[in-house]
Structure 1
Amino acid sequence: MTEAEWWEFENVEAMAKQIADDIEFIIKQAIEKKGRALIIVPGGSTPKLVFPTLAARDLDWSKVTLMLTDDRLVAKDNPLSNFGLLTKHFGNSGAELVSLIDENYLDDRAAAGRAADQKLASYKWPADLVWLGMGNDGHTASIFPGPNFDEAVNGPRERRALGLLPVPLPPEAPVARVTLSLSTLASAHTVMVVITGDHKRTVLTDALKEGASSRLPVGRVLGETEASIDVYWSK
């Protein structure tokens, strides 16, 4: 079983404010300790609430690197791009924004993954924070259950990123992905998981009970996490 501390909120707005507060604290601590912060965030609906609040905080953004847990293999100006969301809210902050997508490889997920992996080798790991979301099927980042699950979780530990094709393709974003690897996500100094709704609470609870042998991607990632895990939940 994987241990996690749960934080429950009456509504998603209150949860979003607390997430922004906690990320601000982590950034300040990292800058004070080592001069720079590496923060990994997801795309999705909750970040859309958190990012405007966080971006308005009085931080030395020039010492912050923001990176995504995963992104769709599309151009940066495509509405499906998670990097577009990051740019919208933090593009004028002074933070370093890191895209996982090399637009030279939009038609080749394997090459796109290798390009991202090579790019990320120049950064100082582990990350100070990895913020994970979770889908109804237990996927996290772009590590999905299905035929590509083993490829995603069993690669070399030094690999930072890889290209994957979810099967079946999610109808809202039917494209390949580039995702950070299990070892990269699990090695962060702090890991937070943010979910909403009763169904996701049940899925995550089951995944935590299964631990590192979980059949669900989120369970596998959290099962290999050595840092403390904080779960933020709201209806």
Structure 2
Amino acid sequence: MGTLTATSPQLCRWHDFSTTAELEQSAAHAILQAAEAAVRLRGAFHIVLAGGTTPRRIYAALRKADADWNAWHVYFSDERCLPAYHLERNSRMAMETWLNQVPIPPGQIHPIQAELGAGIAASAYAKTLKNIPLFDLVLLGLGEDGHTASLFPGHDLGSATDSPAVLAVGNAPKFPPQRVSLGAHRLSAARKVFFIVSGASKKKAIQNWLHGIPIPAAAIRPQDGIDVYLETTLFETDH
């Protein structure tokens, strides 16, 4: 594994792994370490989950962990405006892969009710987050176009300090067009942020990120910086 620094003004710690399995194992271990530290220091662990396909195997690994699940509080970075149990809902993937199989109290798992429509769901989720000034850990992925959560190029990223915590996204370039997403400023209100990136299709986005091109992922700027876990082949650029 290597650790390098990008030229972007965003503070990034880049961790590259020779195989996807090594990446996933290291990320799962880092998540559990963050949880243990948060519970020890503050008695609770507030984590925001990424959707999509990349974190699925990490979630599967976490369900086998010996963790203090009663102290976990789970939120979501974004959600698709689809019926509650639709196959492409982020919450369904996380529940089936992991959350339904560990004893986190149900009242401490907070899906986004995107089936109600983007505007209503965004407003309701902002109220859910109101009393959580800092997340302990935010997990995020990276799209081929550099998007993260449902923050897409050319759209409002919610980066300003007075931006809404949760955005109603319309006309997204990926299906479905209506989504709900935490804004960049709210996602940055975290003690730790991990990006989990795999797949050859992400290489151009990584090149742009390393070269300081302002992709949406570069708008996530927590005070302590971010950690990016990715495959070595994605780091084989001309940077």
Same fold (TM over 0.5): yes
2:170 matched to 1:165? yes
Give unmatched runs, 5+ long, in structure 1: none
Quote the residue 1:114 is aligned against. 123
**What letter corresponds to residue 193 of structure 1 in structure 2?**
F
Q: Is the 8 A contact 1:37 1:64 kept in 2?
A: yes
Aligned partner (choices 156, 161, 169) of residue 162 of structure 2: 156
Q: Is the 8 A contact 2:114 2:179 kept in 1?
A: no
Pair 1:32–1:151, CA change in 2 (3 A): closer
Q: Deviation of residue 125 (structure 1)?
A: 2.5
Q: Is the 8 A contact 1:191 1:228 kept in 2?
A: yes
2:28 matched to 1:31? no
2:238 matched to 1:232? no
Distance 1:228 1:153 in 2: 15
**What letter corresponds to residue 194 of structure 1 in structure 2?**
I
Q: Deviation of residue 167 (structure 1)?
A: 3.6
Distance 2:209 2:222 in 1: 13
Q: Is the 8 A contact 1:39 1:67 kept in 2?
A: yes
Distance 1:78 1:189 in 2: 32
Pair 1:38–1:94, CA change in 2 (3 A): same
Q: What are the equivalent positions in structure 2 for 1:51-130 lying under 5 Å apart?
A: 51-88=59-96, 89-95=98-104, 96-101=108-113, 103=115, 105-106=116-117, 109-122=118-131, 124-130=132-138
- Report the TM-score, using the length of structure 2 for normalisation: 0.84
Identical counterparts, % of pairs: 25
Distance 1:97 1:78 in 2: 18
- 91-100 or 74-83, larger mean C-alpha shift: 91-100
Distance 2:172 2:87 in 1: 21
Pair 1:29–1:208, CA change in 2 (3 A): same
Q: Is the 8 A contact 1:41 1:66 kept in 2?
A: yes
- Report the TM-score, using the length of structure 1 for normalisation: 0.85
Q: Is the 8 A contact 1:35 1:63 kept in 2?
A: yes
2:203 matched to 1:193? no
Q: Is the 8 A contact 2:84 2:114 kept in 1?
A: no
Q: Deviation of residue 97 (structure 1)?
A: 1.5
Give aligned pairs, total.
220
Q: Is the 8 A contact 1:3 1:208 kept in 2?
A: no
Distance 1:12 1:162 in 2: 32
Q: What are the equivalent positions in structure 2 for 1:176-191 lying under 5 Å apart?
A: 176-191=178-193
The 3-state SS of whatever aligns with 1:40 is strand
Q: Is the 8 A contact 2:144 2:204 kept in 1?
A: no
Give unmatched runs, 5+ long, in structure 2: 1-8, 234-239
CA RMSD across the alignment: 2.0
Distance 2:25 2:133 in 1: 27
Q: Deviation of residue 139 (structure 1)?
A: 0.6
Q: Is the 8 A contact 1:135 1:200 kept in 2?
A: yes
The 3-state SS of whatever aligns with 2:229 is strand
Distance 2:198 2:157 in 1: 28
**What letter corresponds to residue 117 of structure 1 in structure 2?**
A
